[in-house]
Amino acid sequence: GQATHIENYGTVVCCGGGVGVAPLLPIIKAMKQAGNRVITVLAARTKDLIILEKQCAEYSDEVIIMTDDGSYGNKGLVTEGVENVILREKVNLVVTIGPAIMMKFVALTTKKHEIPTMCSLNTIMVDGTGMCGACRVSIDGKTRFVCIDGPEFDAHKVDFDEMLMRLRTYN
């Protein structure tokens, strides 16, 4: 795959859901080291599923916790946390990693505010070389392979509905 593009964007909102927070952590750290204001939104179904909060806080100017059941932080979805930040201050970039359905709705939220959004996809991968095609996704109408072209793409160009359908292949 390709490395994350890091630069000083200004204010970056990094939002992660569930285990998506693990690959988000080094991005949070790198974005902060590049001089960005970093606001991290962590989301999970319950308090017990929030991970790496302390580590994310180390490199974030602010951490917002969202839980579906309200057992910790704010009750609600990650999109509510992201949108609350967007409504109160200028956001230059959003980075999202987590379940595909979460990233889809983060992308829909940021698109209406015209904020560039990068997502990191975790499709089914078999060989990691682009030969098998299992990780193929449609990006702006073109076929791409997450294992070699990604894993990060412009979230506004990802066909999330197709990707979600393909992710259900082995259900």
Is residue 1 one of the residues assigned to a domain? no
Same domain for 33 and 80, yes or no, is yes
Same domain for 21 and 104, yes or no, is yes
* pLDDT of 145 higher than 90: yes
Same domain for 102 and 126, yes or no, is no
Q: Select from 114, 91, 85, 17 the least CA-distant residue to 56.
A: 17
Same domain for 108 and 138, yes or no, is no
pTM over 0.85: yes
Is residue 149 one of the residues assigned to a domain? yes
d(CA 136, CA 23): 20
Q: Report the number of distinct structural domains present in the chain.
A: 2
Domain that holds residue 96: 11-120
Is residue 3 one of the residues assigned to a domain? no
Same domain for 28 and 16, yes or no, is yes
The pLDDT assigned to 113 comes to: 98
* pLDDT of 80 higher than 90: yes
Is residue 5 one of the residues assigned to a domain? no
Looking from the CA of 66 toward its CB, the CA atoms found within 13 Å total: 21
CA dihedral (57, 63, 156, 131) positive or negative: positive
- The model's pLDDT over 9-32, given as tens digits with 9 standing for 90+, comes to 999 999 999 999 999 999 999 999
Is residue 47 one of the residues assigned to a domain? yes
Q: Which residues contact 163 (CB under 8 A, 6 or more apart)?
A: 100, 121, 123, 137, 138
Question: Which helix (H) or strand (E) is 41 found in, with range?
Answer: strand 37-44
Q: Tokens 């579906």 identify what position?
A: 68
Same domain for 115 and 132, yes or no, is no
CATH of the domain at 24: 3.40.50.80
Phi first, then psi, for residue 93 (nearest 5°) are -155, 145
Helices (H), the chain: 21-33, 53-58, 78-88, 100-112, 146-149, 160-167
Same domain for 77 and 106, yes or no, is yes
| C-alpha dist (Å) from residue 162 to 16, 74, 79, 139 | 21, 31, 21, 10
Is residue 113 one of the residues assigned to a domain? yes
Same domain for 90 and 37, yes or no, is yes
Same domain for 65 and 142, yes or no, is no
- The model's pLDDT over 82-113, given as tens digits with 9 standing for 90+, comes to 999 999 999 999 999 999 999 999 999 999 99
Same domain for 86 and 170, yes or no, is no
Q: Select from 87, 108, 113 the least CA-distant residue to 96.
A: 108
Same domain for 127 and 171, yes or no, is yes
Tokens of 14: 């990094």
- The model's pLDDT over 40-72, given as tens digits with 9 standing for 90+, comes to 999 999 999 999 999 999 999 999 999 999 999
The pLDDT assigned to 28 comes to: 98
* pLDDT of 33 higher than 90: yes
Same domain for 102 and 143, yes or no, is no
Is residue 84 one of the residues assigned to a domain? yes
Is residue 4 one of the residues assigned to a domain? no
